[in-house]
Amino acid sequence: MLPSPHPRIGLALALLLTVSLVAPSASAAPFDGDDDCGATLWVPQDHPTISAAVEAANPGDRIRVSAGVYAEQVIIDKAIQLEGSGAEDTIIDGQNSLDLAGMGQIRVIAAGDVEISNLGIVHAGRPGLLSEPAVGIFAASPVAGVTYHIHDNQILDIGDPNADPATNPDLGIGWGWGFHSQGGLEHLRFEENEVAGCSSTCLWLEDHAGPTTIRENDISTGLQASSGISLNNYSSTPITTPQKIRGNTIDMGLENPDVINFPAGIYIWAQGARYTNVRVQDNRIENVIERKRGIVLFGGVWPEDGPSPGAGLRARVEENEIIGAPSSNGFTGYEGITVWGACWQVRIEENEIREINDGPLPAFPTVNGGIRLRASFLDGVSSPVGMIIRDNRIDAQRGISVEGSTSNSLIRRNRITALGPAAVELGPDTSGNSVKRNRLETPTDEGNAAVIDNGVGNTVRWNR
């Protein structure tokens, strides 16, 4: 049985029951707009399907799709514009099929500029196997210097919503990604889309070496959701192009106590080589519920890969709002911002983190409320260096915990209200960190007295 359609598209589907799933009636009225590029091809007026229009189009042409439900995979291999008449009216329905020619209900592999807008993508299919992920839009240009602009679309109900890795031995079965890029070189602009109802990661960029702009999207994570937005560099080549994640709203609010992958609203993962130009700014991550985190930065390699001095992460995390939510056992999310492993000179500034871990306080360093700096969970050694944590407002069980061999970090001018024993806690292997000029408060202490320092050569002064 197919999953029920997302409620936001339910009305549109009801109105379109008389429309063929292969192509809508030719009487459907096109939307208005001015032609400002090459020729304009209409679907279904000129071509019965979107795929037929793409095949007939020349680079630079525009394809306009009238309202209807289209059951097809669309492969875009040339520079075109594809525009629907509205994301709730022009719907590409993959019907959870197992016959796609490659990953992606819409698959973009053009060596030229592409624009996709005003479409709804639902129930994406898979390329032949249940163990393959279902993907709403897949995009990866083989050449640099081009732009893929994907905006004002809805990507809904991707993958099996009942898939649960705790009970499913094959984690691939049921995976559903709203958007995926693998090794793309284009400037990706993913803006003002709605992504919801995915059974796993909503937006996943893997080894995407081109510039990235993910801006002002509305994202709701699913049952197991690895993350709302995930950028991963597994390659051996550093990614130095700007990677910008800005102004998105991410709702993490589905509780699943059995989830095993500790999802996050935003996850930046530099495993193979470095990310050096990442900016996470002005996002709102809400309902950070148990076993979930707001923002995670990770730099490091798998132990079996051996030492890799080129791996690591440098980023700016600024002006984000991260809000917890209670779960059935009284815990809220694990952490607001987590920095793991080989990260250096990361700036965490002017963020607001609140209502994290209002339940019982686990033993240090199992979990933290506001900001946590810690050794890599892969090798247990690599730790952040030279962090700048400044002008943040934190209301959580723990304010900031500094663990592993984290060193030479500045913690300045933060305002922290902690419900546990310390506003700032420095672990025994930390060194050279400076905690100065913060406003710190716990239920029993203020200022310097609200800091626990078990490290060597750390400086704690002028806090109030």
- Residue 44, in any domain of the structure: no
Q: How many structural domains does the chain have?
A: 2
Whether residues 100 and 156 share a domain: the answer is yes
Whether residues 291 and 348 share a domain: the answer is yes
Whether residues 74 and 115 share a domain: the answer is yes
Whether residues 274 and 299 share a domain: the answer is yes
- Residue 158, in any domain of the structure: yes
Whether residues 178 and 254 share a domain: the answer is no
Whether residues 333 and 198 share a domain: the answer is no
Whether residues 270 and 196 share a domain: the answer is no
pLDDT per position in the chain (464 positions), as tens? Answer: 333 444 444 434 333 333 333 333 333 333 333 445 599 999 999 999 999 999 999 999 999 999 999 999 999 999 999 999 999 999 999 999 999 999 999 999 999 999 999 999 999 999 987 778 899 999 999 999 999 999 999 999 998 766 555 555 444 456 889 999 999 999 999 999 999 988 889 999 999 999 999 999 999 986 555 789 999 998 888 899 999 999 999 998 766 655 556 789 999 998 877 899 999 999 999 988 877 899 999 987 655 555 555 568 999 999 999 998 876 666 666 789 999 988 988 999 999 999 886 555 555 445 668 999 999 877 778 899 999 999 999 998 889 999 999 999 999 999 999 988 899 999 999 999 999 999 999 999 999 999 999 999 999 999 99
- Residue 432, in any domain of the structure: yes
Whether residues 202 and 75 share a domain: the answer is yes
Q: What residues contact residue 9 under an 8 Å CB cut-off, 6+ apart?
A: 88, 91, 120, 122, 154, 156
Whether residues 375 and 402 share a domain: the answer is yes
Whether residues 378 and 264 share a domain: the answer is yes
- Residue 261, in any domain of the structure: yes
The CA-atom distances, in angstroms, between 96 and each of 20, 103, 106, 125 are: 17, 13, 14, 4
Whether residues 259 and 397 share a domain: the answer is yes
Q: What's the domain range around 374?
A: 227-464
Q: What residues contact residue 305 under an 8 Å CB cut-off, 6+ apart?
A: none
- Residue 51, in any domain of the structure: no
- Residue 58, in any domain of the structure: no
Domain edge (last residue) among 193, 225, 257: 225
- Residue 290, in any domain of the structure: yes
Whether residues 278 and 173 share a domain: the answer is no
- Residue 49, in any domain of the structure: no
Task: Name the pairing type of β-strands 212-215 and 187-191.
Answer: parallel
Domain edge (last residue) among 200, 225, 250: 225
Domain edge (last residue) among 225, 256, 273: 225
